[in-house]
A and B are shown apart, each in its own frame.
Chain A
Amino acid sequence: MNPLGFIVRSLFCYLVVFITWNPTGVSYLGWLRATWLDHPWSARGHLPVLAITGTALFAINLFLLRTAWLSLRVRGMLGVAVVLLFGGLAADEAGWVSLWREEQLSYLPPFLIGGILTVGLVRSIVRRRVIGQSDVLNPPP
């Protein structure tokens, strides 16, 4: 995997996370809330589109989460979250972001989740490339 592959995978993970939910409200969950929860009867025409988009997003999120869990397990995912959290705090200390403002703090959870998914997605590739050790999935019994 070259650096471009890492960037593409990282962008893909963050895109999936932000399309699912982000603080601006322009996301699938924001769309779901605005059409179905706030206007249930008038949203009937949008139901098939909501359903297919939701199931596709659910499947992609499930794939990424399962990949991250298989690769990192809970301990690894927490470790990545801690490292990224302190990275965010270091950026705040340097003045690049201001995490103590609510509008910027609300971006922290999707940033952490996207980072965990990215590391989970690339870890096996990096491990195989750098140290030659492969991760194998056994078929279910």
Chain B
Amino acid sequence: MLGYPKLADILARMLAVAFLVGITYNPVGHCYWRWVTDGGTGQPMLKIFIGLLLGVGFLFCIAALIRSLNLAGTIPLLLIIGSLVWLLSHWQFIDLADPMQLTLVIEGVIILVLGSGVCFSIVRYHLTGQLDSQSLN
């Protein structure tokens, strides 16, 4: 029913989550946060509307994460990602003392966690045949 999950499908979902996080806040370019805080008091309704749309996007990803991974899956995932960050810092590939790099690492962690939540149900169905379903009534 869901078909074979191609790598391109997984990548597309991760890129969509990365776009959502990046457009909300990023330290290197234009983002919603900078537009709201530095852009003056103009266009308040448009800012609220865009903020609501971004909020809906995050709610969608968080709900998918809770549904597919729950706490029992999210904690090991965070431990793995945290260990990876620690390893990269130990190998001096990243410098956590640099505020810019630290911000990018935190954003990367958020993207990996939310992206995993969005993709995991599809991957689990392919691996185990178990369909993630929710009863409506």
By a beta-carbon cutoff of 8 Å, the part of chain A in contact with chain B is 70-71, 79, 82-83, 86-87, 89-90, 92-94, 128, 130-138
Contact = CB atoms under 8 A, between A and B. Distances in A.
Nearest to B61: A131
Given A79-B56, A83-B56, A134 B13 contact: no
B131 interface: yes
A91 to B, nearest CB: 9
Contacts of B67: 131, 133
A90 B56 CA distance: 17
B135 A138 contact: yes
Contacts of B132: 132-134
B2 A135 contact: no
Given A79-B56, A82-B52, A90-B45, A134 B133 contact: yes
Contacts of A130: 13, 118
Contacts of A86: 45, 48-49, 52
Contacts of B13: 130-131
Main secondary structure of the interface of B (DSSP, over half): helix
Interface string B45-81: 1101100110010000000100110000000000000
Given A130-B13, A131-B122, A89 B45 contact: yes
B122 A132 contact: yes
A133 B46 contact: no
Contacts of A71: 136
Contact of A136 (B43, B64, B133): B133
Contacts of B44: 93
Contacts of A93: 43-46
Nearest to B52: A83
A65 to B, nearest CB: 14
Nearest to A92: B45
Given A83-B53, A93-B43, A134 B48 contact: no
Interface in B82-118: 117-118
Contacts of B121: 131-133
Contact of B134 (A89, A90, A92, A133): A133
B128 interface: no
Given A79-B56, A83-B53, A89-B45, A132 B125 contact: yes
